[in-house]
A and B are shown apart, each in its own frame.
Chain A
Amino acid sequence: MNNVTFIEITDAMTGDVVEHALIDRGNGEFTSMPKSTYDAMQAEQSTPIDTGDE
């Protein structure tokens, strides 16, 4: 099971604070993405394999 933490990163150019998802995939490997992307990905899971269920 991946461990997901949410971190806030301040944009060095604009000063905006953006929330990111940091996914610990184990063995020291991580994946990160903006929380908005992560949320969209999670929403997609609610319709398995693209509207697959009949």
Chain B
Amino acid sequence: MATTTPNFGWPVPTSTDLVKDGATAIEALGDGVDASLVDLKGGTTGQILAKATSADMDFAWITNDVGDITAVTAGTGISGGGTSGAVTVTNSMATAITTKGDLVPGTGSGTFARLAAGNNGETLVADSSTSTGLRYTGNYAAGKNAIINGDFNINQRAFTSITASGTDQFGFDRWLTLGNTGTVTYTPQTFTPGAAPVAGYEGANFSRVATSGQSASNAYATLTQRIESVRTFAGQTVTVSFWAKADTGTPAISIVAGQSFGSGGSPSAFVTGSVAAGTTAKKTISTSWVRYSATLTIPSISGKTIGTTPNTSYLQFEFWLSAGTNFNTRTDSLGVQNNTIDIWGVQVEAGSVATAFQTASGSIAGELALAQRYYWRSSNTDIFSGHGNGSADTTTASSMVLINPVPMRIGATSIDFSTLCLFDGASAVVAVTGATLSRASNRSTTVALTVASGLTQFRPYALINNNNAAGYIGASAEL
């Protein structure tokens, strides 16, 4: 009988061993087998045998750790599962997301639904009336719009028409127009109730600039607002948004940001716009009210010198409505446009997204106060409405200290007036023939009033309308 090599090294007798040695051989074999199987000894009910090490026949009794899962069942928020083999489960909340910006809010106990991302600039608010309890809405918060009177609601000057020239002329508060060659006419217009171009904001007025007869290379027509301090938005990205429409065709509007470093000393030169600098953008408009937005990069003022005269620098936003070829760089080759263009709802805000329109202050009173920082007018509908009190310096001159309705940017730099008189409470009124600035602070404006004759020296006088509701006196500290 052939002898095989034992797998476990047991001392197996060979076929040629002597019979007389059989008992010894069997004992040795038995001992070998016993030693090999010693790890099988012991254990308790339910235990299983596991390899203790990688060595042959090295086992240990352990608690049964073999999985006892018989099924995977999808619970709330997941799907799939199974009872055998490879099982897949899927996060249903994740698959509800289909588009960038989607949210998956709860709709009740253990339920949810997709909430699509809102429009650019919208914010998320709680709203129990919706299925998800959330709603995207326009950001109507005040304080984000750097433009004052962006809805053209404030018209202290009561302007009815301005023929633009190379001199700043203000119509709606804070808005000035400039024009050259041809005829550029700036007028206030009134929305038919319910006709304002944005739902939920009942705009009252809009600006209209009508340009005609222009062709020259130096022609232009602009509507501009200057924002105090050249530091405003310096080095930042801003978004300018507005509604506009044209009378005919598809003209364009160029939106240009410019930086003035003020006066006094040796201020840096005016920085004008260009497409290359990111400070000019051109928008083609139509004959219907449409909202447009442009993102501009306001240049850094690092290395610049601001004028030494306080409060004279500014950032301005220009709406170019016509521009001869002299201004091609500044206006992205807007070109001469003899057209009538309407503008409303101007907003300038930090960032690259146009949010919902809101005035700077969010209220009529707030907007008026903001505007009066630059210009105020005392005007009333009564034919003898009063504006202030003072006394006569001479028989032909009187001084009045008029308290500014709000602290002005700086002391007033000019006065405007119409149809005024001085009244001492007893005698006949004396018509005012001149009103000039005597001295001014941010808190008050002192005016010197002149008359032809008839005042009594040192007698108190009231400055009132001269039997005409159109009378007024105003003070300007415009940029």
Interface residues of A (CB under 8 A from B): 7, 9-13, 18, 20, 22, 25, 27-34, 37, 41, 45, 48-54
Interface 1/0s, chain B 378-397, versus A by CB < 8 A? 00000000000000010001
Q: Chain B residues with Cβ under 8 A from A29's Cβ?
A: 416-418
Complex Cα distance A49/B316, Å? Answer: 11
Q: Smallest CB–CB gap between B422 and chain A, Å? A: 15
13 other A-B residue contacts (CB within 8 Å) besides A20-B437, A22-B434, A28-B419: A9-B397, A12-B438, A18-B436, A29-B417, A30-B416, A32-B435, A33-B413, A33-B414, A33-B436, A45-B166, A49-B166, A50-B258, A53-B218
Kindly state whether residue B326 has any CB partner on chain A within 8 Å: yes
- CB A32 to nearest CB in B, in angstroms, measures 5
List the 5 shortest-distance A-B pairs measured between CB atoms, nearest first. Answer: A33-B414, A12-B393, A20-B436, A31-B416, A29-B418
A12 and B415 within 8 A (CB): no
Q: Are A28 and B470 in contact (CB under 8 A)?
A: yes
- A36 CA to B220 CA, complexed, in Å: 28
B326 x A49 contact (CB < 8 A): no
Contact of A33 among B415, B434, B438 (CB under 8 A): B415
B145 proximal to A (CB < 8 A): no
In-complex Cβ contact of B328 among A18, A27, A37, A54 (8 A): A54
Structural contact, B436 and A54, CB atoms closer than 8 A? no
Query: Nearest CB to that of A48 among chain B residues?
Result: B166
The minimal Cβ–Cβ distance linking A20 to chain B, given in whole angstroms, is: 4
A51 to B417, alpha carbons, bound, how many Å? 31
Bound-complex Cα distance A22 to B218 (A): 30
The listed residue (B166, B220, B270, B418) touching A28 by CB distance below 8 A is B418
Digit string of B255-273 for contact with A (CB within 8 Å is 1, else 0)? 0001010000000011010
Cα(A13)–Cα(B218), bound, Å:
47
Q: Is the interface of B mostly helix, strand, loop or mixed?
A: strand
Task: Report if B112 contacts A (CB, 8 A).
Answer: no
Inter-subunit contact B448/A12 (CB<8 Å):
yes
Chain A residues positioned under 8 Å from B328 (CB to CB):
54
Q: Closest B residue to A50 by CB, please name it.
A: B270
Contact in complex: B436, A9 (CB < 8 Å): yes
> Once the chains are docked, how many angstroms separate the CA of A53 from the CA of B327?
6
Across the interface, which residues of A come within 8 angstroms of B434, CB to CB?
7, 9, 22, 30, 32
Expressed in whole angstroms, the minimum distance between the Cβ of A4 and any Cβ of chain B is 12
Task: With both chains docked as a complex, state the minimum distance between the C-beta of A26 and any C-beta of chain B, in angstroms.
Answer: 10
Question: B147-166 vs A: 1/0 string, CB under 8 Å?
Answer: 00000000000000000001
A50 and B417 in contact, given A9-B448, A30-B435, A41-B167 (Cβ under 8 angstroms): no
A22 to chain B, nearest CB (A): 6
Q: Which residues of the partner chain B approach A25 to less than 8 Å between Cβ atoms?
A: 416
Give chain A residues whose Cβ lies under 8 Å from the Cβ of B245. Answer: none
Q: Which residues of B contact A45 (CB under 8 A)?
A: 166-167
CA distance A52 to B168 in the complex (A): 14
Partner of B178, one of A12, A20, A34, A49: A49
**CA separation between A48 and B220, bound complex, in Å?**
10
